[in-house]
Amino acid sequence: MKFSRIVPFLSLFALAGCTATDPALAPQLKDVVYRPSRMKATDSVLKVKVGQRAPDFTLPSVSGSMVSLSDYRGRKNVVLSFVPGAFVPIASMQWPGYNIALDMFKQHDAVLVGVTTDNIPAMHAWVKIMGGLDFVALSDFWPHGKVASTYGVLRSGGFPERAMFFIDKQGIIRDIEVHDINRRPSLDDISAALKKLN
């Protein structure tokens, strides 16, 4: 990874307790992010639980390929990271921050897979302006939010919770974290959940 891509996000990822109104964004994002007002922490009901097989799906990626959850079965643990959408402050810090933390996922033989309900053109523009992502980003745009709904993390506004599903190599859900949508997930919480995959 190019050092120039990492530097703008090092300080952002280190920030704790960012809220939707935080001004701490990389310069290239300051004028393009949408700043929502504080939202209800969660607004959905889970439809899956720890110990059950994760529902399979196939979605288009920003890179143009189709990706299925079952592509990883028997090969890799998977962490699904749902975020509310492109061009919002917290997600615009959360996902680029994972570029820096990918070694933490790799240590547990896990791949990170990001999911939003945005369409591919919007996601493409967002990923480009953030400097790129070093993990797969998928669009759950059509049928709108079908995967988020299947997992039970589609909010009433039509966008996902800030949620993470930790799925082992056999396709079994080992942990679920649905975070306050107004706050970025803690790396400590993610690290603890990753340990449950092995």
Which pTM does this prediction carry?
0.83
Is the pLDDT assigned to residue 27 strictly greater than 90?
A: no
Fold of 3-15+57-197: Glutaredoxin (3.40.30)
Predicted pLDDT at 10: 35
Beta bridge partners of 110: 77
SS3 6: helix
Model confidence at 39, in pLDDT bands (50, 70, 90)? confident
Predicted pLDDT at 6: 37
Is the pLDDT assigned to residue 11 strictly greater than 50?
A: no
Please state, in angstroms and rounded to a whole number, the distance separating the CA atoms of residues 72 and 152. Answer: 22
- Mean of pLDDT values over 65-84: 98
The DSSP bridge pattern shows strands 173-179 and 66-68 to be unpaired
Helices (H) and strands (E) in the chain, counts: 5, 7
Tracing tokens 């059950």 back to the chain, one arrives at 52
